[in-house]
Amino acid sequence: MEKIGVGLIGTGFMGKAHALAWNSVRPVFGDVPDVRLVHLGEANEELAQSKAAEFGFKKASGDWKRVIADPEVDVVSITTPNKFHLEMARAALAAGKHVWCEKPMAPKLAEAEEMLAAARASGKAAVLGYNYIQNPAIRHIRKLLDEGVIGTVNHVRIEMDEDFLADPEAPFQQRHEAINGWGALDDFGVHPLSLLHTLFGRVAKVMCDMAKPYPTRKTPDGEREVEVFDIATILLRLENGASGYIAVSRTAWGRKGRIAIQIFGARGSILYDQEKMNEFQLYLTADNPTEQGFRTVLSAPHHKPYDRFIPAAGHNLGFNDLKVIEFRQLIARMQGEPSVSIGFEEGILIERTIAAMARSFQQSKWTEVA
Amino acid sequence: MEKIGVGLIGTGFMGKAHALAWNSVRPVFGDVPDVRLVHLGEANEELAQSKAAEFGFKKASGDWKRVIADPEVDVVSITTPNKFHLEMARAALAAGKHVWCEKPMAPKLAEAEEMLAAARASGKAAVLGYNYIQNPAIRHIRKLLDEGVIGTVNHVRIEMDEDFLADPEAPFQQRHEAINGWGALDDFGVHPLSLLHTLFGRVAKVMCDMAKPYPTRKTPDGEREVEVFDIATILLRLENGASGYIAVSRTAWGRKGRIAIQIFGARGSILYDQEKMNEFQLYLTADNPTEQGFRTVLSAPHHKPYDRFIPAAGHNLGFNDLKVIEFRQLIARMQGEPSVSIGFEEGILIERTIAAMARSFQQSKWTEVA
Amino acid sequence: MEKIGVGLIGTGFMGKAHALAWNSVRPVFGDVPDVRLVHLGEANEELAQSKAAEFGFKKASGDWKRVIADPEVDVVSITTPNKFHLEMARAALAAGKHVWCEKPMAPKLAEAEEMLAAARASGKAAVLGYNYIQNPAIRHIRKLLDEGVIGTVNHVRIEMDEDFLADPEAPFQQRHEAINGWGALDDFGVHPLSLLHTLFGRVAKVMCDMAKPYPTRKTPDGEREVEVFDIATILLRLENGASGYIAVSRTAWGRKGRIAIQIFGARGSILYDQEKMNEFQLYLTADNPTEQGFRTVLSAPHHKPYDRFIPAAGHNLGFNDLKVIEFRQLIARMQGEPSVSIGFEEGILIERTIAAMARSFQQSKWTEVA
Amino acid sequence: MEKIGVGLIGTGFMGKAHALAWNSVRPVFGDVPDVRLVHLGEANEELAQSKAAEFGFKKASGDWKRVIADPEVDVVSITTPNKFHLEMARAALAAGKHVWCEKPMAPKLAEAEEMLAAARASGKAAVLGYNYIQNPAIRHIRKLLDEGVIGTVNHVRIEMDEDFLADPEAPFQQRHEAINGWGALDDFGVHPLSLLHTLFGRVAKVMCDMAKPYPTRKTPDGEREVEVFDIATILLRLENGASGYIAVSRTAWGRKGRIAIQIFGARGSILYDQEKMNEFQLYLTADNPTEQGFRTVLSAPHHKPYDRFIPAAGHNLGFNDLKVIEFRQLIARMQGEPSVSIGFEEGILIERTIAAMARSFQQSKWTEVA
């Protein structure tokens, strides 16, 4: 590949993040083809034109199908609401485009399975937007785990908490409808799972609880029952037998982007928190006994590919930089090279695990992940 | 009461802590009767004599029954292994002594119930050694909760982790035998429960998982199966419906005395960690929106009874100081005054909750606490 | 302005940061003219061509004068070693270009004064690369100070520490030569000063100490005397009479990008550390006395212009994002709008303060800043 | 010595701390003579009686001379205001008693010198109350420094900050009168110096600045000029040539008991903060480069004599425990054994350093410590 033509559908939170990342991937990494922002699709022509100008796309359409049909487009970024993912991804793959689709795959497992089938049929790269796994700190943690630095891992805990639904006085909104899934479980749960999959592999079985902190919400006319669960807690076992849990909440006042990971092994422990994404903590029994302690390791150029952004340690990457790394990995995948990424093949495992969690909750019992 | 005669049985970790605390409770608080260290009991006469001299007790016996029989003794501290608790507490109460017994009550629930019956029959103060609830920081958190400062609590998480059994190369020891109970569940689990009971009241139902990180341990001749579980994780619902969990581990490298509490309410959150026992964190939605954040509140004289130890804020109480506060509360209870303490009446609720957790694990299902 | 043509001279650490930021300023902010990467200059044609392709510049030259002469170029980014700043900035300004020059202005104060004269004569925007002042957290701190939230400030401390020269075994390098200035004083000291100027205004007088932790360094042939000082500590008084100090070190093992600020006022305090650039800490006496404490405020969309990068709180900006904000401010300045930036007019105050510090050290006495 | 008879003069903040510590030193350490609380002196008979009963002293006097004259008293704790130190210490030493006197020695250097002369003439143990040096964490830091774990130290910073005089609305009080000394310099400065002396030895020269954040204070009738300085900042050089500074403030809102130490060496760094007295941080270049970071080491039984208080790591000593350790060291000194303590011989060095700092401030120049 000498150049990569990019199509982008959607320009919200993630759409803008994609635009910024596509824009930066070449100047940051250098070793990639010429990336061209070709065609931007939005809900209507006017918005599409305005956003294309802002983000630097050459063409704009009020119909996403025109983006997919554009022969200059090699890869399509899909950042629309989840319910559109299947239709768009299938069309893009059928049109011979690589696909980059924001997580999760689709509201229903069956749809996600269809997406996987479409990806397999196309032979194109089909990747999901799990950006947290791209953090150099997380990558380095994986390296340490692979090298056995903390020995065999026997216990893992992940909490993911934010507070954007924590206000009980805030009115009923779309997010509170069951049509969007289970709530925190699928909205947040996929992120801890993406990290578990990246660091350890499959989850074997789960026992899930969910809770509704605020069972009703105000509407203009009165109040309405909240149909989703803003808190989920899941006991689990990894395939290697290690125990652990995932806890997720969208009503945790004060937590803004917390993804706190605790990993305990036979010879040490590792801690990480996404709110402090430029560091991790490491405890090693190999250290001198009277000076053992969790050391706070700041991200630095030797934690690849931090060096592509900044040549000095401790200077901080940002959330948007993770997307740039993600696209570098996507390009690797498009080029048939090894990559750290969650393609539809891996993503379906996450979706199936979520489905098993939901069944576990409904049946109130431990459930094997298919 | 003008004076209090103290008997102490046992002089290990907790026995020494008791001796230090009995010794300090009057100079610290001032407003209590004259506390006299009367009679110390140990496994044999020689050890008893030596420890009595060291700790300042007037008399010493190699037979604990002599301590209980001593007419100068008003209250007996029992700090022996759990299996002796029932016999000693029953005897002391029968002899008309107040009893202060280290937690947990007894290895079996039926024994604990017997202890409660003995306490009720005696009419004497019978209190358990739950020291963490005595921390001025914890007391202040309770006050904040009672005043509704963070609104209705809807989610609680408590982790208690240490690493004294984390080394897989360490040999098999008594602690690994089933005769001592379930492992982390009863050894550690009672502490988070004492905090839950103090802060919120009863646990309604539980779903418990346990894990053995190291299923076998070395013996001089070979190896032996570990019969207990060093990790337990328990999903739970409080009586008010709030969801939450307790996670305990004795194999968490790097954790030395961690009891991390996270409390989420409708108008704020509170965090606490026993490893940093002189502070807690508070997030309030009442704060100005652009300056909201967890504030770290250092223990200070206005967090009673910190002031009895130190007149200056931020100067740090220690673990042993909590025992002094505990004894002040015990004396209040002996005097028929209100006290923050876990007597046998409250302690039995903790024991029953542990029993429900164990049943839940055995039956692999949600279990109501009787 | 409908479009802005950018010229870039230099492609090292800062050169790349500039390229990335020019590239992103429009998609991030939206409300700016079309930014075009026009002409890149490097030491030779080949490197210039290669970097231009990588960074997305249309033209490339091995001679920086061609960049400046290019009529399509409206603004020139100068990221070459300090000794070239005067010549390049003067030429660019004389050619009617706006200038963006990395800090500090020039090795000698007289040169910096010349640069200022050239800027004044040209009437063009001439701005320096003080990126740390652009952090939304710092901007919000300034707002809080301006609003008097912590009352009148009476004491300020700033430490800036890194460890890239901390290894005593590392060989002698160019940085150790006196031709580069005083060492930590001018290399690092300008950053704390940029923050002091942004937050408080002028420094009135200074008392400076400098130290050489490693007076000699290895060379291939033997060893050589280190001519600069890797540590400087400066007592100071602000114009309003507040006392304080700046301490800077390039030999502080473990410090990677620390810029720790402590601000004490009559009604509260503010803390900040660049290593944790997405948060600041605030202590307010207006808080309820028993719950006063430093609160950790995470950067969020309401701390402008964080929202232009990410719509969710606590998700972290990175170091490179600060440059994007800086360029947005530069564009404002180019357009004659109010801006937060350190132009040559303000920059010269920093340079004069450094000069006063150096004199203070040489004469070992308190020295007024001219 | 088989037993130690204790006399105590004064029962304020420090007086109570002494009573508690004398009371606990034997049960904590075991290996010391029988400590008997013999005679308590206070300003009048009634207060003396009441406090003696509370603290467990056998006798009480309204005249301190009776305490000193008591033949059962072997050592006298002097915890009265500084202005009485000379008279009381001289009398006690002349009476053949060991002396334990709270820091600092005396308001004037000449008085302190007299105290030293009296101590030398008596041949008795004469020790000062510098409790922070007794922290097992500080002791372990000294051990690490002595062993060269972080290499030669070249830079040291100590900040000591509290906020008990931070409120500008608080009225004028005795502390604001010049008769009490310089203010923060002598009130606080002696603590950082005690740590410097313990960890590194003598200070060679100093350059001192002082500031008055609130130059006037309210009185019942109007307002009055504050005669002391609540902030002091001192540049310094240790005898080994290392540079550094001490900064002290009594008006630092939010700081409650901060004594923050930063020590930078050729192969690592050490950090400590008294507000988190149960931990220190260590950075070692000997660690694997990609995992270097400050490790937080929690105090534990292997940091002697933590084990005498608690057999489990990470369970926290308190401020009052430091006094117990201090008395164990005093007893060692009384017995002619090696001890970690600041006797009058060492204390006079601290006083002379303070005097040099004051001269430096008055003369506005670098000043050698005699």
The closest CB to that of C365, out of D233, D269, D364, belongs to D364
Q: Which of D160, D256, D295, D306 to mutate to test the interface with B (most CBs of B within 10 A)?
A: D256
From residue A257, alpha-carbon distances to A249, A314, A319, C50, C203 in Å are 11, 20, 10, 39, 39
Rounded to whole angstroms, what are the CA distances from D1 to D26, D92, D142? 13, 19, 30
**Helix (H/G/I), strand (E/B), else coil: C198:** helix
C-beta of residue D190 within 8 angstroms of C-beta of residue D350: yes
Radius of gyration from C-alpha coordinates of chain B: 21
Nearest CA in chain B to D307: B13
List the single residue in C287, C290, C302 with the smallest CB-CB distance to B302.
C290
Confidence of residue D1 (pLDDT cuts 50, 70, 90): confident
Instruction: Give me the pLDDT at residue C148, please.
Output: 98
Q: C289 CB near a chain B CB, below 8 Å? A: yes
pLDDT band of residue B364 (cuts 50, 70, 90) is: very high
Per-residue pLDDT, B160 = 98
Q: What is the mean pLDDT of chain A?
A: 97
Q: What is the mean pLDDT of chain D?
A: 97
Helix axis angle for A190-199 and A344-363, nearest 10°, is 120
Q: Which residues of A touch B285 (CB under 8 A)?
A: 167, 253
pLDDT in the model for residue B193: 98
The values of phi and psi at residue C269, to 5°, are -140, 155
Average pLDDT, chain C: 97
Task: Report phi then psi at A102, rounded to 5.
Answer: -65, 150
Note the pLDDT tens digit of each residue in A143-166.
999 999 999 999 999 999 999 999
What is the spatial distance between Cα A350 and Cα A342, in angstroms, rounded to a whole number?
Answer: 10
Q: Is 80 exceeded by the pLDDT of residue D263? A: yes
The yes-or-no answer to whether B3-131 and B133-315+325-332+341-368 have a common fold is no
Smallest CA–CA distance, residue B211 to chain D, in Å, is 24
Strand-strand pairing, D34-41 and D59-61: parallel
> In which band, very low, low, confident or very high, does the pLDDT at D147 lie, cut at 50, 70 and 90?
very high
Whether pLDDT at C1 is above 80: no
Taking contacts as CB-CB distances below 8 angstroms, the residues of chain B near A150 are: 253
User: Are C97 and C41 in contact, with CB atoms under 8 Å apart?
Assistant: no
Query: Is A49 buried (19+), middle (13-18) or exposed (0-12) by CB count in 10 A?
Result: middle
Which among A20, A30, A319 has CB closest to C24?
A20
Residue of chain D whose alpha carbon sits nearest to that of A297:
D293
Tokens found for residue C351: 């340079």
Share of chain D above pLDDT 90, in %: 97
> For residues D98 and D121, what is the distance between their CA atoms, to the nearest angstrom?
12
List the single residue in D149, D293, D295 with the smallest CB-CB distance to A298. D293
Buried/exposed C329-338: b ≥16 CB within 10 Å, e otherwise: bbbbbbeeee
User: Mean pLDDT of all residues in chain B?
Assistant: 97
D311 touches chain C (CB under 8 A): no
Hey, is A64 helix, strand or coil? helix
> What are the angstrom distances between the C-alpha of C44 and each of A27, C61, C66?
19, 7, 12
* Chain C CB contacts of A22 below 8 Å: none
CA dist., res. B176 & res. B215, Å (int) = 10
Out of B149, B287, B295, name the one closest to residue C294 (CB): B295
Q: How far is CA C123 from CA C35, C73, C85, C343, C369, in A?
A: 21, 17, 18, 12, 27
Closest partner CB to B302 (pick from C149, C289, C296): C289
pLDDT tens-digit readout, A12-59: 999 999 999 999 999 999 999 999 999 999 999 999 999 999 999 999
pTM: 0.98
**Are the beta carbons of A293 and D292 separated by less than 8 Å?**
no
Q: What angle do CA D238, D240, D244 make, to 5 degrees?
A: 35
CA distance C185 to C227: 13
DSSP D306-320: HHHH-SSTTS---HH
How far, in Å, are A143, A153, A266, A304, D285 from residue A148 at the CA level?
9, 9, 9, 19, 22
D346–chain A Cβ distance below 8 A for any pair: no
Query: Containing H/E element for C207?
Result: strand C203-211
pLDDT exceeds 90 at position B351: yes
Q: Do A321 and C320 make contact, defined as CB atoms within 8 angstroms?
A: yes
Q: What is the mean pLDDT of residues C326-343?
A: 96
Q: 3-state SS of B276-328?
A: HCCEEEEEECCCCHHHCCEEEEECCCCCCCHHHCCCCCCCCCCHHHHHHHHHH
Whole-number Cα distances in Å, D173 to C10, C50, C112, C157, D176: 61, 71, 50, 27, 6
| Residue pLDDT, tens place only, C254-263 | 999 999 999 9
Question: Please, which pLDDT band fits residue C179 given cuts at 50, 70 and 90?
Answer: confident
pLDDT digits (tens, 9 = 90+) for C99-156: 999 999 998 999 999 999 999 999 999 999 999 999 999 999 999 999 999 999 999 9
Q: In which residue are the tokens 């088989």 written?
A: D2
Handedness of CA C40, C46, C51, C56 (dihedral sign): positive
- Cα separation, C341 vs C329, in Å, equals 6
Question: Is D169 strand, coil or helix?
Answer: coil
Angle, nearest 10°, between helix axes C45-55 and A13-29?
A: 160
Mean pLDDT to the nearest integer, A170-181: 91
Which chain D residues in 217-246 lie under 8 Å from chain B, judged by CB atoms? none
**Rounded to an integer, what distance in angstroms lies between the CA atom of residue A170 and that of residue A183?**
16
Sequence-separated (6 or more) residues with CB below 8 Å from residue C47: C11, C62
In this structure, are residues A245 and A235 in contact, taking their beta carbons and an 8 Å threshold? yes
Report whether pLDDT(D283) > 80: yes
Helix (H, G, I), strand (E, B) or coil at A169: coil
- Beta carbons of C316 and A318 less than 8 Å apart: yes
Is D150 at the interface with chain C, CB within 8 A? yes
Does any CB of chain B come closer than 8 Å to the CB of residue C295?
Answer: yes
Touching check for B55 and chain D: CB below 8 Å? yes
Sign of the alpha-carbon dihedral angle for B130, B135, B138, B142: positive
Phi, psi of A306, deg, nearest 5: -50, -40
> DSSP for B130-152?
--GGG-HHHHHHHHHHHTTTT-S
pLDDT band of residue B158 (cuts 50, 70, 90) is: very high
Is the separation of the CB atoms in D67 and D9 below 8 Å?
A: yes
Please judge whether C211 and D155 are an interchain contact, meaning their C-beta atoms are less than 8 angstroms apart. yes
> How does pLDDT run across B27-60, given as a tens digit for each residue?
999 999 999 999 999 999 999 999 999 999 999 9
Residue A238's beta-bridge partner residues? Answer: A203
* The predicted structure's pLDDT at residue D370: 82
Selected for mutation to probe chain A from D287, D290, D294, D306 (highest A CB count within 10 Å) is D290
Are A330 and A314 in contact, with CB atoms under 8 Å apart?
no
Decide if A309 contacts A140 (C-beta within 8 A).
no
Q: What is the pLDDT of residue B223?
A: 96
Nearest CA in chain A to B287: A254
User: Which of B256, B276, B277, B323 is most worth mutating to test chain D (most D CB atoms within 10 A of its CB)?
Assistant: B256
Instruction: Cis check for the bond before A104: say yes or no (omega within 30 of 0).
Output: yes
Indicate the fold that domain B3-131 takes in CATH.
Rossmann fold (3.40.50)
| B318/D321 Cβ within 8 A | yes
B180: pLDDT strictly greater than 90: no
CB-CB neighbors (< 8 A) of A37 in chain C: none
Instruction: Write out the CATH class of domain D133-315+325-332+341-368.
Output: alpha beta
D184 contact B CB<8A: no
For A38, residues 6+ apart whose C-beta sits below 8 A from its C-beta are A5, A6, A7, A57, A58, A59, A70, A72, A73
| Whether C201 contacts C223, CB under 8 Å | no
A-chain residue closest to D286, CA distance: A287
Q: Which residues of D touch A297 (CB under 8 A)?
A: 290-293
Q: Is D363 on the interface with C (CB under 8 A)?
A: no
- Confidence label for A180 from pLDDT (cuts 50, 70 and 90): confident
What are D80-102's pLDDT values in tens digits?
A: 999 999 999 999 999 999 999 99
In sequence order, the β-bridge partners of residue A98 are A75
Give chain D positions within 8 Å (CB) of C243.
209, 211, 231, 233
Instruction: Tell me how many residue pairs between chain C and chain D have CB atoms under 8 A apart.
Output: 115
CA end-to-end span of chain A, whole Å? 38
CA distance D59 to D37: 9
| Interface residue C162 vs chain A (CB under 8 A) | yes
Chain A residues touching residue C315 (CB < 8 angstroms): 256-257, 319
Domain range list for chain D:
3-131, 133-315+325-332+341-368
